[in-house]
């Protein structure tokens, strides 16, 4: 039974967490549908549709179109969707063009907003005259495009950590456009210079751009109602004490949006805006993510007992006798170098422009960062001389074992997606199933990711595994060595932000948010590397499994930019 322990525990956590998430997001009889609807030029768009029990063709309900931000997916709007659906509102959590399962490329077709609004209006259980729009970050563009396409097709809007006139793609804000608009912007929002042309999120009340939207020549006062809801000119500013990614993951970020739609739409339940349960959905899917990692380890261990892979089983034996000065140097370099190079190598990766087989701009930058770190790791290997373990090289068996392990993990995700309409995620961390289009992308991206992990996993084990150390110590060492550099980088960035209102490295707002995901991801990579090596005496199975996992994660969750018609939008200079 011992060999089944991790396998069974992984499944138990996945099923319990997914069931909890499902019960929360369907609380009160809400029905959730994975929907596809037509965009322009024959493209297919995607969304999650939340339908309250009270919404029927005989009694149409109010509705809200909600949009996620850049390199996010429809699931990132679940906090808003859950709370609004609990209050009797139909919610379509759309996926922008080039994101998730929506086709076309980023920026095309009004970012998908006009098509999403048309679809929502066409549902028989939706009150067409009682629709709101909500968008977080770049998600403000599609909802403003929808509002521009149909000036009378909606009643109210919430810009959550977003702005008018966004990168020139959204129309400029005026006292009359958009209609009845609430702006929810974190006091520590990392994108204040880009969004509202002020240095700090807490300063946006003095933004000329915001004052133009509110129709005032004096600074905008938070929580004050400007204009008239009846005339469509109402405005309100909220400044919760949160960062950009917390705006859609906090009571303070969600409550103002709920309250605004309660004030501007008809027949929305008056349940207090602060009465929120969405966090338990995140707890459930976060628990399922942990279960997924445990399932991968348990599957790997179990497969090694079966005839096709039994010959790969062998105990990994470390060569280093103790943690001496050279060991600590290796630990510090392993942790520090990927984090220190993250911003400059990501910037350098901007030259890897999206193309047919590598169509994801952020994915391309991450590949450049990884490959350059692989080169740095090889060079550091010349410096970190010392005893190395004897690695076995079962190439075909290692590939087969990694593929079989990943396939079981993928099957678990596909199962809960079909049964519960959830995936594995917590906050900015999210793992989605791949559709056929993204699976094709992943085949190309898998090659550079595999090259990186073949170098990184071998170096990690060779430099940091210590002879006769207990398993838990090797697992912890590997996880910390892979992630501590990013922990330190983020701690410096956000300590400075909370102390001064601006980040220490102010020019990297987007990559700072991307770096948050790499803390748990790299911890998982380190754990997999140590776990698989201890059972095979080889770096190959762990390297291939990590490559499959990270390639899957990045490809499924990153925006697609390439298409024959794609052009990068002109970006106006941001003032600070």
Residues 323-336 pLDDT 10s = 999 999 999 999 99
Residue 386: which residues within 8 A CB-CB, separation 6 or more? Answer: 319, 320, 326, 463
In this structure, the answer to whether residues 248 and 328 fall within a common structural domain is no
In this structure, the answer to whether residues 242 and 322 fall within a common structural domain is no
Residue 135 has pLDDT above 50, yes or no: yes
Residue 43: which residues within 8 A CB-CB, separation 6 or more? Answer: 97, 102, 103, 104, 108, 109
In this structure, the answer to whether residues 484 and 391 fall within a common structural domain is yes
In this structure, the answer to whether residues 425 and 462 fall within a common structural domain is yes
Boundary (domain end) residue, out of 217, 242, 276: 276
Name the pLDDT band for 566 (thresholds 50, 70, 90): low
Name the pLDDT band for 373 (thresholds 50, 70, 90): very high
Name the pLDDT band for 569 (thresholds 50, 70, 90): very low
- Angstrom CA distances, 479 to 102, 299, 369, 490, 527, stand at 35, 20, 20, 17, 5
Q: Which of 69, 83, 144 is nearest to 114 (CA)?
A: 144
At 231, list the tokens.
């005339």
Residue 575: which residues within 8 A CB-CB, separation 6 or more? Answer: 193, 197
Residues paired with residue 63 on neighbouring β-strands, in sequence order: 90, 131
In this structure, the answer to whether residues 427 and 389 fall within a common structural domain is yes
Q: State the Cα torsion 536-539-541-547 to the nearest 10°.
A: 160
State the pLDDT at residue 3: 82
Q: Supply the mean pLDDT for the chain.
A: 95
State the pLDDT at residue 6: 96
Domain count, the chain: 2
**What percent of the chain lies above the pLDDT cut of 70?**
98
Residue 573 has pLDDT above 70, yes or no: no
In this structure, the answer to whether residues 76 and 173 fall within a common structural domain is yes
State the pLDDT at residue 299: 98
State the pLDDT at residue 367: 97
The tokens 């290692």 sit on which residue? 398
State the pLDDT at residue 171: 87
State the pLDDT at residue 567: 55
Residue 289: which residues within 8 A CB-CB, separation 6 or more? Answer: 17, 424, 425, 426, 429, 431
Residue 545 near residue 528, CB atoms below 8 Å:
yes
Residue 564 has pLDDT above 80, yes or no: no
Per-residue pLDDT reduced to its tens digit, 146-194: 999 999 999 999 999 999 999 888 889 999 999 999 999 999 999 999 9
State the pLDDT at residue 575: 33
Q: What backbone phi and psi angles, to 5 degrees, belong to 28? A: 80, 15
**What percent of the chain lies above the pLDDT cut of 90?**
91
At 232, list the tokens.
């469509």
501 falls within a domain: yes
Distance CA 195, CA 539 (A): 45
Residue 78 has pLDDT above 70, yes or no: yes
In this structure, the answer to whether residues 304 and 443 fall within a common structural domain is yes
Residue 259 near residue 273, CB atoms below 8 Å:
yes
In this structure, the answer to whether residues 79 and 199 fall within a common structural domain is yes
Over residues 90-116, mean pLDDT: 96
12 falls within a domain: no
Boundary (domain end) residue, out of 241, 276, 311: 276
19 falls within a domain: no
Q: Vertex 200, ends 196 and 201: CA angle to 5°?
A: 65
Residue 385 has pLDDT above 90, yes or no: no
The tokens 């969304």 sit on which residue? 47
Per-residue pLDDT reduced to its tens digit, 5-38: 999 999 999 999 999 999 999 999 999 999 999 9
Name the pLDDT band for 259 (thresholds 50, 70, 90): very high
State the pLDDT at residue 83: 98
State the pLDDT at residue 205: 97
Residue 302 has pLDDT above 80, yes or no: yes
Q: Which of 476, 446, 461, 454 is nearest to 550 (CA)?
A: 446
Over residues 237-261, mean pLDDT: 97
Number of H helices, E strands in the chain: 16, 10
Residue 137 carries which DSSP code? G
In this structure, the answer to whether residues 519 and 552 fall within a common structural domain is yes
Boundary (domain end) residue, out of 235, 252, 276: 276
State the pLDDT at residue 571: 43
Residue 576 has pLDDT above 60, yes or no: no
4 falls within a domain: no
Integer-rounded Cα radius of gyration of the chain: 25
State the pLDDT at residue 387: 81
575 falls within a domain: no
Q: Which of 530, 524, 549 is nearest to 459 (CA)?
A: 530
State the pLDDT at residue 1: 57
State the pLDDT at residue 574: 34
Residue 414 has pLDDT above 90, yes or no: yes
Q: Which of 320, 218, 241, 248 is nearest to 73 (CA)?
A: 248
Q: What backbone phi and psi angles, to 5 degrees, belong to 248? A: -110, 20
Question: What's 192's domain CATH number?
Answer: 3.40.50.1820
Over residues 112-123, mean pLDDT: 98
Per-residue pLDDT reduced to its tens digit, 532-557: 999 999 999 999 999 999 999 999 99
562 falls within a domain: no
Over residues 258-264, mean pLDDT: 98
7 falls within a domain: no
> Residue 507's domain spans which residues?
281-557
> What DSSP element (H or E) covers 548?
helix 540-557
In this structure, the answer to whether residues 263 and 327 fall within a common structural domain is no
3 falls within a domain: no
Over residues 365-392, mean pLDDT: 91
Other CB atoms within a 10 A radius of the CB of residue 356 amount to: 10
State the pLDDT at residue 565: 61
Residue 496 has pLDDT above 80, yes or no: yes
In this structure, the answer to whether residues 61 and 151 fall within a common structural domain is yes
Name the pLDDT band for 374 (thresholds 50, 70, 90): very high
State the pLDDT at residue 525: 98
In this structure, the answer to whether residues 302 and 232 fall within a common structural domain is no
Residue 214 has pLDDT above 60, yes or no: yes
State the pLDDT at residue 149: 96
């Amino acid at each position: 039974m011992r060999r089944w322990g991790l396998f069974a525990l992984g499944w138990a956590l996945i099923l319990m967490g997914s069931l909890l998430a499902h019960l929360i997001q369907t609380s009160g009889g809400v029905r959730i549908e994975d929907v596809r609807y037509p965009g322009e030029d024959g493209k297919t768009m995607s969304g999650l549709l939340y339908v309250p029990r009270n919404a029927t063709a005989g009694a149409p309900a109010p509705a809200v179109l909600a949009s996620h931000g850049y390199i996010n997916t429809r699931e990132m709007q679940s906090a808003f969707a859950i709370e609004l659906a609990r209050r009797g509102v139909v919610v379509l959590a759309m996926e922008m063009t080039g994101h998730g399962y929506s086709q076309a490329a980023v920026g095309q077709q009004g970012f998908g907003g006009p098509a999403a609004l048309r679809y929502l209006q066409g549902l028989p259980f939706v009150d067409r005259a009682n629709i709101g729009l909500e968008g977080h970050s770049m998600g403000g563009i599609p909802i403003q495009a929808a509002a521009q396409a149909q000036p009378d097709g909606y009643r109210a809007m919430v810009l959550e950590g977003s702005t008018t006139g966004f990168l020139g793609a959204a129309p400029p804000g005026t006292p009359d456009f958009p209609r009845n608009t609430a702006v929810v912007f974190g006091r520590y929002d990392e994108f204040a210079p880009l969004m509202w042309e002020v240095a700090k999120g807490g300063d946006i009340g003095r933004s000329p751009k915001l004052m133009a939207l509110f129709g005032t020549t004096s600074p905008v006062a938070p929580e004050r109602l400007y204009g008239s809801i009846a005339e469509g000119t109402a405005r309100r500013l909220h400044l919760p004490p949160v960062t950009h990614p917390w705006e859609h993951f906090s009571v303070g970020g969600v409550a103002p949006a709920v309250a605004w739609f309660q004030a501007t739409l008809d027949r929305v339940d008056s349940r207090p805006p602060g009465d929120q349960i969405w966090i338990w959905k995140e707890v459930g899917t976060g628990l399922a993510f942990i279960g997924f990692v445990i399932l991968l380890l348990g599957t790997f261990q179990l497969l090694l007992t079966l005839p096709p892979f039994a010959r790969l089983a062998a105990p990994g034996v470390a060569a280093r006798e103790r943690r001496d000065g050279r060991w600590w140097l290796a630990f510090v370099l392993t942790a520090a170098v990927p984090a220190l190079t993250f911003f400059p190598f990501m910037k350098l990766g901007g030259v890897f422009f999206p193309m047919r087989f590598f169509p994801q701009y952020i994915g391309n930058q991450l590949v450049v960062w990884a490959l350059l770190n692989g080169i740095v790791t090889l060079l550091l290997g010349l410096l970190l001389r010392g005893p190395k373990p004897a690695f076995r090289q079962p190439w075909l068996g290692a590939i087969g074992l990694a593929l079989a392990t990943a396939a079981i993990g993928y099957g678990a995700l596909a199962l809960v997606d079909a049964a519960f309409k959830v995936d594995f995620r917590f906050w900015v961390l999210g793992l989605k199933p791949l559709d056929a289009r993204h699976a094709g992308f992943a085949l190309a991206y898998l090659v550079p990711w595999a090259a990186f992990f073949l170098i990184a996993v071998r170096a990690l084990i060779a430099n940091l595994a210590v002879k006769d150390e207990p398993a838990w110590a090797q697992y912890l060492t590997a996880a910390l060595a892979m992630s501590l550099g990013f922990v330190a980088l983020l701690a410096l960035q956000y300590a400075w932000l909370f102390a001064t209102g601006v980040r220490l490295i102010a020019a990297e707002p987007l990559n700072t948010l991307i770096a948050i995901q790499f803390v748990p991801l790299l911890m998982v990579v380190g754990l997999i590397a140590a776990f698989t090596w201890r059972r095979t005496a080889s770096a190959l199975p762990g390297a291939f499994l990590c490559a499959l996992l990270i390639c899957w994660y990045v490809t499924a969750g990153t925006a697609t930019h390439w298409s024959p018609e794609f052009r990068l939008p002109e970006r106006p200079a941001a003032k600070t």
